[in-house]
Structure formats: C-alpha cells, structure tokens
Structure 1
C-alpha cells in the first residue's frame, strides 16, 4: 500500500522512533522506497534485531539522487551522511529503482557503495535488469515481519560488518 509523499528523509537511529539532528553511531543505511510503511517496518525490524543502523529514508528516486549528491535539503553531511549500504526499491513512480541504480553506478561519487535491490517481483527479467545495472544483490521483499527481521540481520552480516571492518583498518569514518 503506497502512502502519501513526504520530501524529508525519515532519520531514526535503530528504529527508535525519534527524529535525530545528529548522527547516530553505527553504519548509515539509505532506504529508498516510495512506501513509508516499508521504511517504518524496516525501523521496527532493526530495533527487533537489536542492530545499530542509522537508517535514512527517502521516498523517491529524485530525493535519493539529491541525498547522494548532497544537494538541496541534503547538503548537511552531519545530518545526512553518505551511506555504507543502499536499499533500493525496484518499483517506484517517476524515477524507478533501475534508473536510480544506473545513476548511482555512472554519475555518483558513491558508485562503490553496495546497492541491494528490494522488490516484490520474482520475475527473472527484473532480477537480470537489476544485476545488469550494477546491483550487488537482489532480494524479494519478505512477506512477514519475522522474515524481515532475519533479512535485516543477514544484511548486517553480509554488507555492514565487513565494510565496517575495512573502514576501521583503513582509519576511515563511518559511511566513507
């Protein structure tokens, strides 16, 4: 079910429910999805999994590009740090997930940030298109909350823990 558009990213630490004006500890995850319910479910799953993500959410491809460019309302990198992982919905109006992914891989300074494509589609063509445009992974959106909690845990193990270890070894800040 698609919700009303909100142009500001919803930033909450680990699903705590409170907006934050300062960076939360932990890796930054940018969730790009036009359905605000999906973002809220991700927050709840992060909290349930007891993980320390700084979840940033934007509701359109256009806002994702602005966020990653640090333009418009997203200029303040203290409030809107670059992500360590991008979760990208495939099916969105206007700029869809594939268009955003193509932009990330060709024009964005964050081209090396892992992108996990999220979709309700199990179509082979959608999966192949996502990988052809540079997705690092393609995940079918889970149907139940318990499965979403497990997905969040697996994203942490597969993408965030290894990246954090590499950043620590290189002496880089989070999200770099």
Structure 2
C-alpha cells in the first residue's frame, strides 16, 4: 500500500509553514507535497511538466486547497479536478482565509468535500490540522481506484 500523500496547495509561505508545523505537532507523518500555485497543483495531479515522471494513478489521499492562488485560482483547480475522470472522486478540502459566502457556495457547487476557514492563531490552527488529519487520513474511506 502506498503512503497517504497530502497535497497542500498554498501560495503563502507563512501559511505553508504553519500547516507543516501543525501536521508535525499532531504527529501527522504523511508526505506533504506543496504546490505553490494552481498551475503547479494541476501539473502534480495530472503528472505534467515538472511532475511528468510521476505515476498519475498515485493520487493524494486529500487535497487541501487554498482559493486565492496565482496563475490558476483554487476554484478553477477544483473545476478541473472534478471534470477529469481520473480525479473527480478525489477528496478536496478548501482551506482558505476567505469569508465570502459566494466562495463557500461556489466551492460546494463545484464539488468540494469540505470548506474550512484557516484559523488565525496557531493553537486554533493546530486543532484544525488535528481534526483534518484524523478525519481525512484515518476515518474517511475513499475508492481504491479512480475510474478511467
């Protein structure tokens, strides 16, 4: 069985460091692949460009997706994930600082599995990371193989 990878799509270096620290403090030892913009996230998922040699069947256990990303927005990344047979069932958690109701509605409309606002303080972020890890990495069941 391959290790459960987390794809963290985050362009803010401070939020990236915070997430990685929170995972470590919660003993979430999964490999975390960081994509720093929407284009890089799609390249990783579909094994293109810098990720060309990666097996595209080896999908992450969960995608933690920021919305406000350079190059390709988080909502567009989600749209492309859901439009492709290989990735349409992939669990995607929107993890963002956006409090816009429209972002929540659009995220769920495009097929997000969950929408989590990034807590501002570290202790709250730590608790959120623990809950995300417990649910998405241990409790949640995903299909063994994606269709296609």
Paired with 1:156 and 1:26, the residues of 2 have a C-alpha distance of 14
TM-score (norm 1): 0.73
Residues 59-94 of structure 1: per-residue CA shift (max 9 Å, x gap):
11111111001112113337xx52000000011133
Cα deviation, residue 48, structure 1? 0.8
Pick 1 or 2: higher relative contact order, CA cutoff 8 A, min separation 6.
2
In structure 2, stretches of 5+ residues that fail to align are none
Cα RMSD (Å): 2.0
Match of 1:76 in 2: 53
Match of 2:88 in 1: 111
State the number of aligned residues. 142
In structure 1, stretches of 5+ residues that fail to align are 1-24
Match of 1:4 in 2: none
Q: Following superposition of structure 1 onto structure 2, how do residues 1-176 of structure 1 map, counting pairs within 5 Å?
A: 26-77=3-54, 81-107=58-84, 109-163=86-140
Runs of 4+ in 1 over 2 A off after TM superposition: 75-78
Match of 1:14 in 2: none
Cα deviation, residue 108, structure 1? 5.5
Residues 32-51 of structure 1: per-residue CA shift (max 9 Å, x gap):
11112211111111111112
TM-score (norm 2): 0.86
Call closer, same or farther: CA 1:108–1:29 in 2, change over 3 Å: farther
